[in-house]
Amino acid sequence: MKVLAAMSGGVDSAVAAARAVDAGWDVTGVHLALSRTPAALRAGSRGCCSREDANDARRSADVLGIPFYVWDFAERFHAEVIEDFVAEYAAGHTPNPCLRCNEKIKFSALLDRALALGFDAVVTGHHARLVDGVLSRSVDAAKDQSYVLAVLTPQQLRHAAFPIGDSTKEQVRTEAARRGLAVANKPDSHDICFIADGDTQGFLARQLGERPGDIVDADGTVVGSHAGTFGFTVGQRRGLNLSRPTPSGEPRYVLAIQPKTNTVVVGSAAQLEVDLVRASRPVWIAARPAGEFRCEVQLRAHGLTSEAVVQAGVDGLTAVLTEPQRGVAAGQALVMYDGDRVLGSATISSAERTRAVVR
Amino acid sequence: MVYLDHAATTPMLPEVVEVIATAMGRLGNPSSLHTSGRQARRLVEESREVLAEVLGARPSEVIFTSGGTEADNLAVKGIYLARRAADPRRRKVLISAVEHHAVLDSARWLAEHEHAELVLLPVDGYGRVLPETLAAAIAEDPAAVAVVSIMWANNEVGTIQPIERLVELAHEHGIPFHTDAVQAAGVLPVSFIGSGVDAMTVTGHKLGGAYGTGALLLGRGVECVPVLHGGGQEREVRSGTLDTPGVLGLATAVQLAASRRAELTGELLRLRTLLVDGIRDAVPDAMLNGDPVHRLAGNAHLSFPGCEGDSLLMLLDAKGIECSTGSACSAGVAQPSHVLLAMGADEARARGSLRLTLGHTSTEADVQAVVEAIGPVVERARRAGLAAGLDSGSTAGLASATELASQPIWDRP
């Protein structure tokens, strides 16, 4: 099998490529240049987009003895991921750019090109497994990335391989050190790769300009002001700078973002709880299910899981949560699981509190 | 392996390797006053005389450097600073739009840090600076021009500039003229004095010498402010302990290249004709970039519509054929070539190009290998190009959906 290993310069993708070599596959390493103006050196906790990261990937490829190239996907990344990220925030949503990058770049632009060039699959260092072709959680629950891959269609997953999904991060690091890969102790990346200083609000303000408006509580009383609704996400507590505290002194959270009226609605933790989630653009691992079914849903990249009863429609679904959840934001993915196996995913469009709470 | 990237670097001549290896075993700083120092100095000065003779210059006009980039930096920055110091009105730096980055970025640096006004001279569709273009740029305000720098031959598309005519135009106004002759020196009968240029860059590794060796030929009367400061070893213009083995290698390579030039040029022209004709037979819509006549003998630069240069390079590399998509950037990303864009190519044509450069080790078998491989490679790269189109569907290249073996569990209680 001839595969293209996407190598970010991090330890996960380096070990994934190494295991692909061990599997006897014909492996070519590719680093995706995603920034129009790459910095010379890595800064902060970003893990991919500097020339130093490209060089780390190259050095891993050298150790593995595989051909290595840098491919420029900066324009495509900007159009598909960064512009989408900004537009989603402008619409009052909370996007996940890593998910979008998997959907539009790694397993679309890159995969399409790889297949056309005669490769059979794209190999990445994601912490996830393919069990009988079905996307499943990594054995390392804390590092599991199946959530940001669940948007992939079965056709895309047929040409994907995730060689490190059956190992923990610690095992991956140990193996990297044993193999002599210099990235064995490279710090994990956390921040959004295209926001160099980690300041998402500042980035959005530069892209969208300041748009001052009111922060109101659930009954419409103005309790503060903001520089732009894009600075907020549902469930956010810090950074509100409210001028009027609640009578009881309990903390307030962002309940809703309303870009049309340029308003941010805040309220108590209890008001944040939702039990009905609507989602659109569903992707199923097989045929769309008829009727209701019970499964586990995950509503954020890390945590926020609940049992739910899902009702699937033609172009959307609703999930009634067994346990009410706080911080469910439009724009995030709703991913459905049967144990470790992914059943499908959809994009959250709205969430609310209903009477049909199943306690 | 089929190596068709001689413009990037060409194999060192065995004679050069031997000369350098021998010299590396010998002690002596050419600036030392004792016996071993004097012996090293003698080798350096003999090399200087050889280089001067072959390149049509006086020995005192040879300034050894660490290569082409340093020589270009020294000429563009040093001559600009000296000219401006003599007359503060002289702030214009006139360079062609197709210069190597060593010249282009030096001039940009002057614009950003030394109040220079950068004037990029446009080129025609072949990449030539027309004499009237330079004449008009000078005529705007001759007294404001500090320096002109136009390469002898282009490193990407191989186009040879009408250098002597351009020099005359600058000299009509007493303006010094620098040329980057890095690509030209090995294959063209380059003469420093004969051409009239005031400064000329050459480098070792493009003509069979070692990496990290080069020279700036600088006319005796041309003022030039140093870029590197220190011992002032080279005419007080360039500092740094001289690299005796490298200098010897450079002189040996230049001398051998000159003695073999006529024969090699004929062979390169023959091979390149076979190469270009063979590629066009296999890929009829391939387009030759650059001047079809006034071009370096070993250079074939072609655009393949619908292909990404990256894809072509990778597919050929996998077949053991090594070539280039144009100038390599430090991050390894192939950017659309500024040379092709300056020649009026659109971004797609610029991205879909390959530079195949022949040299002293090239054979007909090399050419045959490319001609046989190029058809299927272009076809495959074209499919990838289609798949990469922004307008195509997100899974355009994927096979049709296949049912997975797993059973859905929708109906579980």
User: Span B276-301, mean pLDDT?
Assistant: 97
Query: CB distance B399–A155 less than 8 Å?
Result: yes
B116 touches B92 (CB < 8 A): yes
Q: What is the pLDDT of residue B391?
A: 33
Rounded to whole angstroms, the Cα distance separating B91 from B78 reads: 13
3-state DSSP assignment of residue A176: helix
Strands A263-267 and A213-217 turn out to be parallel
Query: CB distance B311–A76 less than 8 Å?
Result: no
User: Span A18-33, mean pLDDT?
Assistant: 97
3-state DSSP assignment of residue B63: strand
User: Span B228-246, mean pLDDT?
Assistant: 96
Total count of residues recorded for chain B: 413
> Which pLDDT band, with edges at 50, 70 and 90, does A309 fall under?
very high
Residue in chain B lying closest to A74 (CA): B333
Residue in chain B lying closest to A112 (CA): B397
User: Domain A2-185, what architecture?
Assistant: 3-Layer(aba) Sandwich (3.40)
Rounded to whole angstroms, the Cα distance separating A105 from B96 reads: 38
DSSP assignment of A109-151: IHHHHHHHTT--EEE---SEEEETTEEEE-S-TTT--GGGTTT
What pTM was computed for the model? 0.88
> Which pLDDT band, with edges at 50, 70 and 90, does A247 fall under?
confident
Strands A26-33 and A68-72 turn out to be parallel
Looking at CA atoms only, how far is residue A258 from chain B in angstroms? 31
Q: For residue B344, which phi and psi values (nearest 5 degrees)?
A: 95, 5
Q: What is the pLDDT of residue A19?
A: 98
Quickly count: other Cβ atoms within 10 Å of residue B140's Cβ: 10
Q: Residue B271: which residues within 8 A CB-CB, separation 6 or more?
A: B298, B358, B362, B363, B364, B366, B367
Query: CB distance B310–A71 less than 8 Å?
Result: yes
CB pairs under 8 A between A and B: 123
Residue in chain B lying closest to A104 (CA): B394
CATH T-level assignment (fold) for domain A273-352: Elongation Factor Tu (Ef-tu); domain 3 (2.40.30)
Angle at A185 between CA A180 and CA A190, to 5 degrees: 135
CATH top-level class for A210-269? Answer: mainly beta
Rounded to whole angstroms, the Cα distance separating A47 from A117 reads: 28
Q: What is the pLDDT of residue B407?
A: 36
User: Span A277-293, mean pLDDT?
Assistant: 88
> Which pLDDT band, with edges at 50, 70 and 90, does B33 fall under?
very high
B332 touches A70 (CB < 8 A): yes
Q: What is the pLDDT of residue B329?
A: 53
3-state DSSP assignment of residue B94: strand
What residues of chain B lie within 8 A of the CB of A31, using their CB? 332
Q: For residue A215, which phi and psi values (nearest 5 degrees)?
A: -105, 125
Q: Residue A350: which residues within 8 A CB-CB, separation 6 or more?
A: A277, A278, A330
Q: What is the pLDDT of residue B359?
A: 98
A308 touches A294 (CB < 8 A): yes
B355 touches B37 (CB < 8 A): no
Residue A276 has pLDDT above 90, yes or no: yes
Q: What is the pLDDT of residue B333?
A: 63
Q: Residue A57: which residues within 8 A CB-CB, separation 6 or more?
A: A7, A8, A9, A13, A14, A29, A31, A68
Q: Of the candidates B319, B318, B379, B352, which has an alpha carbon nearest to the alpha carbon of residue A4?
A: B318
Q: Of the candidates A8, A302, A5, A4, which has an alpha carbon nearest to the alpha carbon of residue A145?
A: A302
A295 carries an active-site annotation: no
Lowest mean pLDDT among A88-92, B159-163, B208-212: A88-92
Q: What is the pLDDT of residue A286?
A: 75
B61 touches B219 (CB < 8 A): yes
From chain B, which residues contact A within 8 Å (Cβ)? 310-311, 313-315, 317-318, 330-335, 380-381, 383-388, 390, 392, 394-406, 408-413
> Which pLDDT band, with edges at 50, 70 and 90, does B334 fall under?
low
Residue A291 has pLDDT above 90, yes or no: no
3-state DSSP assignment of residue B396: coil
> Which pLDDT band, with edges at 50, 70 and 90, does A249 fall under?
confident
N-term to C-term CA, chain A: 50
> Which pLDDT band, with edges at 50, 70 and 90, does A52 fall under?
confident
Lowest mean pLDDT among A44-53, B175-184, B193-202, B394-403: B394-403
The tokens for A75 are 């324009």
What residues of chain A lie within 8 A of the CB of B350, using their CB? none
Residue in chain B lying closest to A66 (CA): B318
CATH topology identical between A210-269 and A273-352? no
The tokens for A166 are 């059956």
Q: Is B236 exposed, middle or buried (0-12, 13-18, 19+ CB in 10 A)?
A: exposed
> Which pLDDT band, with edges at 50, 70 and 90, does A314 fall under?
confident
Show the domains of chain B with their CATH numbers: 13-257 (3.40.640.10), 261-388 (3.90.1150.10)
**Reduced to 3 DSSP states, what percent helix, strand and coil does chain B have, rounded to the nearest 5?**
45, 15, 45
Rounded to whole angstroms, the Cα distance separating B145 from B173 reads: 9
The single residue listed with the structure tokens 């002597």 is B164
Reported ipTM: the value is: 0.84
Estimate to the nearest angstrom the gap between the alpha carbon of B254 and the chain centroid. Answer: 17
> Which pLDDT band, with edges at 50, 70 and 90, does A72 fall under?
confident
Query: CB distance A111–B409 less than 8 Å?
Result: no
Looking at CA atoms only, how far is residue A154 from chain B in angstroms? 7
N-term to C-term CA, chain B: 63
DSSP assignment of B325-370: SSSPPTTS--PPPHHHHHTT--HHHHHTEEEEE--TT--HHHHHHH
For residue A258, the 8-state DSSP code is: E
Lowest mean pLDDT among A16-20, A59-63, B153-157, B396-400: B396-400
Residue B14 has pLDDT above 80, yes or no: yes
User: Span B141-165, mean pLDDT?
Assistant: 98
Residue A135 has pLDDT above 60, yes or no: yes
Q: What is the pLDDT of residue B303?
A: 95
What residues of chain A lie within 8 A of the CB of B409, using their CB? 293, 338, 343
Residue B332 has pLDDT above 60, yes or no: no
Output the CA torsion sign for B190, B191, B197, B203. Answer: positive
The tokens for A123 are 């190999």
How many helices (H) and strands (E) would you count in chain B? 12, 12
3-state DSSP assignment of residue A170: helix
Domain residue spans of chain A? 2-185, 210-269, 273-352
Interface mutation vs chain B, best among A41, A71, A75, A131, most B CBs within 10 Å: A71
DSSP assignment of B110-156: HHHHS--EEEEEP--TTS---HHHHHHHHHT-GGGEEEEE--SB-TT
Share of chain B above pLDDT 70, in %: 92
Output the CA torsion sign for A80, A85, A90, A94. Answer: positive
The tokens for A174 are 């140990």
3-state DSSP assignment of residue A39: coil
Quickly count: other Cβ atoms within 10 Å of residue B22's Cβ: 11
> Which pLDDT band, with edges at 50, 70 and 90, does B389 fall under?
low
The tokens for B310 are 């990256």
Positions of B annotated as catalytic residues are 329
Rounded to whole angstroms, the Cα distance separating B197 from B200 reads: 7
Rounded to whole angstroms, the Cα distance separating B307 from B294 reads: 27
Rounded to whole angstroms, the Cα distance separating B8 from B175 reads: 31
Strand partners for A344: A284, A336
Rounded to whole angstroms, the Cα distance separating B79 from B83 reads: 6
B389 touches A145 (CB < 8 A): no
Residue B324 has pLDDT above 70, yes or no: yes
What residues of chain B lie within 8 A of the CB of A58, using their CB? 332
Assign residue B28 a region (left: φ > 0; alpha: ψ between -120 and 50; beta: otherwise).
Answer: left
Q: What is the pLDDT of residue A287?
A: 74
Query: CB distance B398–A159 less than 8 Å?
Result: yes
Q: What mean pLDDT, rounded, does chain A reach?
A: 90
The predicted-structure confidence for B68-95, as pLDDT tens digits, reads as follows 999 999 999 999 999 999 999 999 999 9
Residue A262 has pLDDT above 50, yes or no: yes
3-state DSSP assignment of residue A279: strand
Torsion from C-alpha of A215, A220, A222, A223, nearest 10 degrees: -70
Strands A316-325 and A274-284 turn out to be antiparallel
Which amino acid type is present at position B157? V
Share of chain B above pLDDT 90, in %: 88
User: Span A220-237, mean pLDDT?
Assistant: 88
A5 touches A174 (CB < 8 A): no
Q: Of the candidates B268, B278, B269, B274, which has an alpha carbon nearest to the alpha carbon of residue B374?
A: B278
Which amino acid type is present at position A238? R
The tokens for B297 are 């003998």
Assign residue B246 a region (left: φ > 0; alpha: ψ between -120 and 50; beta: otherwise).
Answer: alpha
User: Span A261-281, mean pLDDT?
Assistant: 92
Rounded to whole angstroms, the Cα distance separating A28 from B131 reads: 48
Rounded to whole angstroms, the Cα distance separating A105 from A102 reads: 6
